[in-house]
Chains A and B, each alone.
Chain A
Amino acid sequence: MAHTSAPVRNGHPLHPGKNDVGLRNGFSKNGQHLHHTKGGLYKRPFTESFEQAPLYVAVLTYMGFGVVTLFGYFRDFLRAWGFEKCNLAQEREEQKDFVPLYQDFENFYTRNLYMRVRDNWNRPICSLPGPQFDLMERVSDDYNWTFRHTGKVIDGVINMGSYNYLGFAENDPTFLTSVEESNEKYGSGVCSTRQEMGNLDIHEELEKLVATFLGVESAMTFGMGFATNAMNIPALVGKGCLILSDELNHTSLVLGARLSGSTIRVFKHNNMQSLEKLLRDAVVHGQPRSHRPWKKILIIVEGIYSMEGSIVRLPEIIALKKKYKAYLYLDEAHSIGAVGPTGRGVVEFFELDPRDIDVLMGTFTKSFGSSGGYIAGKKELVDFLRLHSHSAVYATSMSPPVAEQILRSMKCIMGLDGTTIGIQRVRRLAENTRYFRQRLNEMGFIIYGHEESPVVPLLLFMPGKVGAFAREMLKRKIGVVVVGFPATPITEARARFCVSAAHTTPMLDKVLNALDELGDHLVLKYSRHTRSSRPELYDETSFEMDD
């Protein structure tokens, strides 16, 4: 991929200067295609694709849902009139006249579609979730209402669902000696919160290391990744502040935003024109009725969106944030350790300065093989959070062996343990990602997301194929995660693959061959390489959208 040599421009990054007329549409005079560099903000081309399926696929998907809904009504009728035994929670006879305790209609979808294909989720694993795992076989006699284990173990199932990006989910004793020692020294429970007796020296060491890793002044760690978002956003913003959150943000961010009591406005996924419009409206009109200026404007985005595999357009967001004087909260749960030449996340991926981002948040669950979350940034911010975060006051702090695992994996990635294992794994992940995505594109599947994101959603569309795909893959000893409505839009059910540095090329080849076979058997290769319904943003500065 050639680096584009964009000349130095005057004026604002989003509005190229007058002497760039020849380069405005992305074509320079000597015929070299510049891709979408947005006035020099991007050092490399940013290639994402969200191809739309042919129309008949959407029609057939709706038809499939229609058939299942009709049969759902039919079965509900049979259950209500006693022709069939009801396996769900029901109210007691004495309480029939009370206000209903169980909302029947909300569970319609769960009862009538999810239950029928439920055997593809919550599968019990009985080994380490590394690149391969062992699965306990279970069968159902009454169409997934109850399961029983046969006692047999299916071993050597290739794991394409765990967020094990750098392969640190390992149980090799040679790597885990320091974790064992810390368990012997501290025990496994902390039994207190950060502000009381739960502040151990290992936490201080970890926080210094995280700050060095990210290139910021200071960091604070928490015991749970979800709680990091949910408990810290209310500490940072409150009533009278504005939160601009991406359409597809994770539930933890949405929960934190709602708990804070601020006004929330949602912009279209990764769409900078939508964000700029909202920012302009916020700055110009202020708060809804009083028109006073907002106390704070916080933009909340994620590094990699795990359902789409898309990477945030960080350079443009930073340019917007500086122009409109807003704050940025970046949730790097999936991208820390997984993108960037040395695994430092999306900030390094776009070659930006970490000091430009106000609140850097991330989790240790995915790339570090541990659990917990962190918030990093300027020293004043982190000192404020140490006092005011709900998590610091009320939640138990991180367990010492867990903290030691993060320390050892982070040192491994940075190379501080004297080996090159870490950087080799980061490079291996990038290679695996590129190889996997390239082969899938060649085969003709519809893949969403950025070409360098290790999360690969493969679109299945029809609800019948969702169940069939997962079962057939398990028959071939490959474990995949399939997702349907309501976690995704109704027509876009998908299988989500998470590439790992621990996957060897033979494993990936086995998966790819199985996918090739299944793609023909189930008819999943819908790609026609056409434009998608999501707007591709070229060098336009305004974009009329019908909201």
Chain B
Amino acid sequence: MNTVRSLCLTPGSVMTSPLSVDMMDVKRFKEYISWLYYQYLLVTCSYVLEPWEQSIFNTVLLTVVAMVVYTAYVFIPIHIRLALEFFSSLCGGQHESTVAIIS
């Protein structure tokens, strides 16, 4: 058949043995992760690409996602702090000025 990476997962017919319950859970978890990866391949249509093209696509996507996460990590707290200061200075300043007029 075609040499594209085709993940053929059989639906779980799990035989549990009392000693290796942990191994079964780990296996089920790994199967689930590989099913998620398969969904990612299908949805982004990387399923049809050759393996080296898939690597390029994954690298580019991971780089973009990493940059987005880094930017969010660096800038969002600063922006939120500045926004809170701005709004609090508005409300707080108003409160102080009314107090000043009354007294």
On A, residues with C-beta under 8 Å from B are 60, 63-65, 67-68, 71, 113, 116-117, 119, 139-141, 143-144, 462-465, 467-468, 471-472, 475, 517, 521-523
Contacts and interface: CB of A to CB of B under 8 A. Distances in A.
A67 B57 CA distance: 9
Interface string B1-43: 1111010110100000000000000000000000100010111
Interface stretch (B48-56, B69-77, B81-89, B91-99): B48-56
Q: Do most interface residues of chain B lie in helix, strand or loop, or is the interface mixed?
A: loop
A464 B2 contact: no
B50 A143 contact: yes
A355 to B, nearest CB: 52
B47 A67 contact: no
28 contacts: A63-B43, A63-B45, A64-B43, A64-B44, A64-B45, A65-B45, A67-B46, A116-B48, A116-B49, A117-B48, A119-B1, A119-B2, A139-B1, A141-B3, A143-B2, A144-B2, A462-B43, A464-B41, A464-B42, A464-B44, A464-B47, A471-B1, A472-B8, A475-B8, A521-B9, A522-B42, A523-B39, A523-B42
A468 B47 contact: yes
A120 to B, nearest CB: 10
B71 to A, nearest CB: 22
A68 B2 contact: no
B40 to A, nearest CB: 10
Nearest to B48: A116
Contacts of B39: 523
Contacts, number: 65
Contact of B45 (A67, A471, A472): A67
A464 B1 contact: no
B6 to A, nearest CB: 7
Contacts of B6: 468, 471
B48 A68 contact: yes
B9 to A, nearest CB: 7
Contact of A468 (B1, B42, B53): B42
Nearest to B11: A517
A143 B45 CA distance: 16
A437 B16 CA distance: 38
Contact of A465 (B1, B35, B42, B46): B42
Given A68-B48, A116-B48, A143-B50, A464 B9 contact: no
B37 to A, nearest CB: 13
A522 B8 CA distance: 11
A60 B45 CA distance: 9
Contacts of B46: 67, 464
A61 to B, nearest CB: 9
Contacts of A63: 43-45
Given A64-B43, A116-B48, 10 more contacts: A65-B45, A68-B45, A68-B48, A116-B49, A117-B48, A143-B4, A462-B45, A464-B41, A464-B48, A471-B2
Contacts of B44: 63-64, 67, 464
Nearest to B50: A143
B101 to A, nearest CB: 54
A253 B42 CA distance: 36
A71 B3 contact: no
Nearest to B39: A523
B86 to A, nearest CB: 36
A2 B47 CA distance: 48
Contacts of B43: 60, 63-64, 462, 464
B8 A467 contact: no
Nearest to A64: B45
A302 to B, nearest CB: 32
Contacts of A64: 43-45
- 4 closest A-B pairs by beta carbon, nearest first, are A64-B45, A464-B45, A464-B47, A464-B42
A472 B11 CA distance: 13
Contacts of B11: 517, 521
A317 B102 CA distance: 83
A201 to B, nearest CB: 52
B57 A71 contact: yes
B1 to A, nearest CB: 6
Contacts of A71: 49, 53, 57
Contact of B48 (A60, A113, A139, A517): A113
A157 to B, nearest CB: 14
B3 A143 contact: yes
Nearest to A117: B48
Contacts of B42: 462, 464-465, 468, 522-523
Contacts of B47: 464, 467-468
Nearest to A118: B2
Contact of A463 (B4, B48, B50, B57): B48
A471 B1 CA distance: 9
A221 to B, nearest CB: 43
Nearest to B61: A67
A241 B39 CA distance: 53
A471 B50 CA distance: 16
A140 B50 CA distance: 13
Which of B3, B8, B41, B47 is the most central at the interface, judged by chain A CB atoms within 10 Å of its CB? Answer: B47
Nearest to A469: B42
A139 B39 CA distance: 25
Nearest to A147: B2
Contacts of A143: 2-4, 50
Contacts of A517: 11
A65 to B, nearest CB: 7
Which of A71, A144, A475, A523 is the most central at the interface, judged by chain B CB atoms within 10 Å of its CB? Answer: A71
Contacts of A65: 45
Contacts of A464: 41-48
Nearest to A520: B11
A209 to B, nearest CB: 47
Contacts of A521: 9, 11, 35
Contacts of B3: 140-141, 143
